[in-house]
Structure 1
Amino acid sequence: MTIALTDAKSAAAASARAAPRDSSFDDAASDEALIRRIAAKDQLAMRTLFARYRIPLYRWLLRIVRDETAAEDLLSDVFLDVWRQAASFKGRASVSTWLLAIARYKALSARRARSNAELDARIAATVPDPADDPEASLQKKNRSQVLRDSLASLSPEHGEVIDLVYYHGRSVKEVADIVGIGEATVKTRMFYARRKLASLVAVA
């Protein structure tokens, strides 16, 4: 896509915002026709699709991530994916459903990443630092105890994964080898364990 932007991540959305639209083209083109044109790298079709779905997709993203800046960034990601993957659209669902599915996947991934980062920060806050004064050390010990109490309330399957990852520094592959399960199962258990652990720590 030939656009004078250095940030490829938002190129598709920026292109859609940048140029005037041909209303006769808008009125005549179905969503499916636009996708076919986008697959052929038609920038006008990209702008038209963006104008048609920008607001509903932004609202959908915002509902999930609850952050305006993140929603705007994800909107650019969605349309960049459309630009790159239009040729893969098979028409098994409507274009609007396809767009919402892309947006949902990206929003949930972003939300999980943010939750994991927040939880990682909580866990890091329980690690003793030799530079801490006695009061800070006591606070960390208290937080660590809360975390360990919460960890003990997890199921054995979930607890062992969290323990191996956070307290033994094992990778997903190493955990899979240790526990004797697939890497995908490790990731699934980590997801549910983190969600449960975060809720327990929050109310402690």
Structure 2
Amino acid sequence: MIMVMDAPQVRQMLAARPRVSEPANLNLLVESVAKGDKPALKSLYNLMSGRLFSVLLRMVRQRDVAEDLLQDVFVTVWRKAHQFDSRRGNAEVWLFSITRRKAIDRLRISRRETVGAFEDVAGMERETDIYVGIGNTENYISVRKCLKELRPDVHRALQLCYVFGLTHEELAEEMQVPVGTAKSWVRRGLAQLKESLSIDERT
């Protein structure tokens, strides 16, 4: 029988932040959460909360909002873990997808005053749809195939930019290349991905 907890209970449980003594398999943790395993959710929080928070803070630019959204992310994980399918993608990408969607939804609701903010939201959504959200598309198999055909550095650049939310400057620092090279890899990867998908659709 799957245990049911409401949002306040989940937040209270996560506040304890128990230590994790060794790395765990994220896929197995999410699958355990789907069965109502509270310790698995705690472990998942310890392993991923820092990275997810960084993405949220980068997107919403307000620490208090990012903290609230992080809690919402794990409430959603608790409620929807049963929807995760390791055969269609890995848990890390699934978690970042939820995180970015939460931030995008919050930016929409807040309706920032500047036009640039609305453009940022639209851009983030397109990026999420292009890469992070591929696990929920009918073309999932085709997209995975196309991604595998990319050069390793180009594939990694797309992953760091669109899954982990790095800016071009942070991407360049992470991959130890000039910013121009990092931007070029991202543009090249998106162009190749688009071209490969177009070819697949015609065949």
> Normalised by the size of structure 1, how large is the TM-score?
0.49
TM-score of the two chains, using structure 2 as the length reference: 0.49
Task: Name which one, 1 or 2, has greater alpha-carbon Rg.
Answer: 1
